[in-house]
Amino acid sequence: MTTRADASTTALRVTLRFFAAARAAVGRDTLDVELPVGSTIADALAAVARQLAAPSSPAVDAAPAPEAASTSSSSSSSSASASASASASIDTVAHAEAVFRRCSFLVDGVAVTDHARVLSGDQTIDVMPPFAGG
C-alpha cells in the first residue's frame, strides 16, 4: 500500500500582502504562492515575478496595451499585440523586482531583513517599500 505524503509537509502556502509602491508594481493587494518546504523570502518573491511574467497574469492583463485595444483583425495587429504584451510583462517584472530590492518585510508581523530567511510554514509576508512621512 502506498502512502501519500501530506501536502502540508511538501509545500508551503505563503500569502504576500503588498503596500504602496509594491502594490502598484504588482497590480494587486495580495497574492498567494505555493512553495516547497525550505523556501526563502527570495523564493517567494521569485514566485511572484514568475506569476507576473505569465501571459494570463491578472496584473499584466488588467490594462491592455493601446495596440491590443485596436479592433483590427489582421495578423500583423495580433502579432503586435502579442509583442506588446510580452514587452509589458518584461517591464512589469523588472519594475516589481526593482521595487522588491528596496522593500522591507514583515513575516507574520516580525521585521525581517534577510531575503535568505527560510520560511517555516504557511506564513504571511508583508512587502513594504520605503515611504516618507511619520
pLDDT, tens only, 18-61 = 999 999 999 999 999 999 999 999 999 999 999 998 865 444 33
pTM of the model: 0.69
14-28, 51-65, 93-107: the lowest-pLDDT one? 51-65
More confident residue, 127 or 5: 127
**Checking DSSP bridges between strand 104-107 and strand 124-128, what pairing results, if any?**
antiparallel
Q: Is pLDDT of 132 > 90?
A: no
What is the per-residue pLDDT for 121? 83
- What is the C-alpha separation between 74 and 95, in angstroms, rounded? 31
Could you give the 3-state DSSP secondary structure of residue 21? Answer: helix
Q: Where are the domains of the chain?
A: 10-62+84-128
- Over 49-96, what HEC string results? HHHHHCCCCHHHHCCCCHHHHCCCCCHHHHHHHHHHHHHHHHHHHHHH
What is the per-residue pLDDT for 32? 95
How confident is the prediction for the chain on average, in pLDDT? Answer: 76
- What is the C-alpha separation between 101 and 92, in angstroms, rounded? 14
Whether the Cβ atoms of residue 85 and residue 63 lie closer than 8 Å to each other? no
Could you give the 3-state DSSP secondary structure of residue 103? Answer: coil
CATH class of 10-62+84-128: alpha beta
Q: Is pLDDT of 77 > 60?
A: no
Q: Is pLDDT of 131 > 80?
A: no
Could you give the 3-state DSSP secondary structure of residue 117? Answer: coil
